[in-house]
Amino acid sequence: ICGIQHLERAGNRLTLFDSLYFCIVTFSTVGFGDVTPKIWPSKLLVVIMICVALVVLPIQFEQLAYLWMERQKSGGNYSRYRAQTEKHVVLCVSSLKIDLLMDFLNEFYAHPRLQDYYVVILCPTEMDAQVRRVLQIPMWSQRVIYLQGSALKDQDLLRAKMDNAEACFILSSRCEVDRTAAILKPENKFHIKFADHVVCEEEFKYAMLALNCICPATSTLITLLVHTSRGQESQQSPEQWQKMYGRCSGNEVYHISLEESTFFAEYEGKSFTYASFHAHKKFGVCLIGVRKEDNKNILLNPGPRYIMSSTDICFYINITKEENSAFKKQEKHRKTHESKLSYHGASRLPVHSIIASMGTVAIDLQDTGCRGGSAATLALPAEAGREGRRPSIAPVLEVADSSSLPSCDLLSDQSEDETAPADDEVSAGLEYAKGYPPYSPYIGSSPTFCHLLHEKVPFCCLRLDKGCQHNYYEDAKAYGFKNKLIIVAAETAGNGLYNFIVPLRAYYRPKKELNPIVLLLDNPPDMHFLDAICWFPMVYYMVGSIDK
């Protein structure tokens, strides 16, 4: 406007209003022609401006229209007709960041049965630029609907058609500064008792850390199993272990009916241990559990006494599910040419799985532990009516021999603590009671059967670095512990630490293997926390820092 008015001083001497009128008429493509530029610099400016407008204006109008539609969506409703004819879930979040959104969407849509579901996001804040860009991708724009609103307001829940939703997911903010404001602390579980499943970050984290003390890398194993991966990470790394780690991160837990399975169908009537051992040797899969047809509970590693049935659902760890594996395609070919096939050992397995091989290690340990004078009883029983079956490659019993089981500690379900205590345990004062902890630090904690003291320890005796009237020890060395210490460094003694102690004092842990636990805290614990831990044997605290 100003440019045309300035240049036309040498021509028509347009006023600023006439220049405004000319620009609006020109760029709206009306073009009355009553006002026109007279000199060539003005004409050149108009040509340049029209060319720029042809490129810029459509982009601006498109973004304006998209923004208007998104505002309409976020302030609108999820269609009642769609809610009744299509399946949807509602995702409630206090603030939506791109990493949280992508993790949820990738894991949710990894399941083949959920491909037709819609995700309705209910969030009180507006979309940021990153989330908006992701939701413009066709793969997500057709599946994800963003509504601005709060899960605490009934009208917003009605807008999301919560009553018709298949499920509702409530995710707490990962980057919450005030940890008590988010659903992260275990004591906050009480406020969402209505939920079918609650995963509390602190509770889960400390339980995983405790399991790491019993079996190193348990948390890594669990994380990789529940995280969807194609097993292609770190394949460009020069480090061999990183390639192996990345490839095996593709392992997940799958399930299939025994009678429909290529991997497990031949083990009908055999023991679980036999099926697990031979399925791994033959196919490289790790059978970890079964579920009976008439039972909702999954039996994890039920042992050699469990006999496999055709209606059992088998749960196994593998790089891919059986239906997608090459074994299915080769099954007919294998049956017609079975005589030509021979087993070449674990190094020739078509599926390389380090995680799956953990099952072989465990069974090999059980096998070596059971050898001895009774080796004849461990021989594979003769198979009546099954001619031509390949012989066993290891003495893993098809059906459990009851006479051999009690002699093998690793195969026995009975803990050594169930029997009478040994003399050295009594003399060492290891006679503990078994029961549920009498005091829980918060409402909603799961009761666990644990090793407990007959009487609670005075609070003064819980302090490791200061003596009291009951004992004069001032450091761990003075106590003369037989097992190595487990040291936990934390700023404060939160209720999550309680979930670290419980797995390490569970009743199935042998008493002679209990490790002393020392909590190294920046701030002194409160009385409620000390009340909860004073019943557990060999649990101490001291005020200090891991930096000193």
**Mean pLDDT, residues 404-408 taken together:** 46
Confidence check: pLDDT of 125 > 80: yes
**Mean pLDDT, residues 328-345 taken together:** 47
Portion of the chain with pLDDT greater than 90, in percent: 16
Amino acid at 168: C
Confidence check: pLDDT of 441 > 80: no
What is the rounded CA–CA span in Å between residue 481 and residue 276? 39
The reported pLDDT for the residue numbered 366 is 33
The reported pLDDT for the residue numbered 95 is 84
Using one digit for the tens of pLDDT, what is the confidence trace for 83-109? 888 999 999 988 888 888 998 998 899
Mean pLDDT (the chain, rounded): 77
**Mean pLDDT, residues 23-30 taken together:** 83
Per-residue CA distances from 364 to 207, 369, 373, 394, 396 (Å): 28, 8, 18, 9, 9
214 vs 325, more confident: 214
The reported pLDDT for the residue numbered 327 is 66
538 vs 366, more confident: 538
Q: Which residue has the tokens 């009671």?
A: 433
- Name the architecture of domain 80-182: 3-Layer(aba) Sandwich (3.40)
- Give the pair of three-digit tokens for residue 261: 């399975």
Per-residue CA distances from 69 to 17, 65, 66, 509 (Å): 35, 6, 5, 60
- Range from 259-263, 361-365, 383-387 that averages highest in pLDDT: 259-263
pLDDT band at 485 (very low <50, low <70, confident <90, very high): very high
φ, ψ dihedrals at 141, nearest 5°: -65, -25
229 contact partners, CB below 8 Å, separation of at least 6: 249, 250
**Mean pLDDT, residues 316-332 taken together:** 73
Confidence check: pLDDT of 274 > 90: yes
Confidence check: pLDDT of 429 > 70: no
**Mean pLDDT, residues 516-542 taken together:** 90
Q: CB neighbours (10 Å) of residue 385? A: 4
pLDDT band at 369 (very low <50, low <70, confident <90, very high): very low
Stretch among 31-40, 162-171, 174-183, 454-463 having the lowest mean pLDDT: 174-183
Domain range summary for the chain, segments of one domain joined by +: 1-74, 80-182, 432-543
Long-range contacts of 457-465 (CB under 8 A, 24+ apart): 457/534, 457/535, 458/534, 459/527, 459/530, 459/534, 462/530, 462/533, 462/534, 462/539, 462/540, 462/541, 463/540, 463/541, 463/542, 464/518, 464/540, 464/541, 464/542, 465/542, 465/543, 465/544
Number of helices (H), then strands (E), in the chain: 20, 13
Confidence check: pLDDT of 450 > 80: yes
φ, ψ dihedrals at 460, nearest 5°: -65, -30
The reported pLDDT for the residue numbered 291 is 93
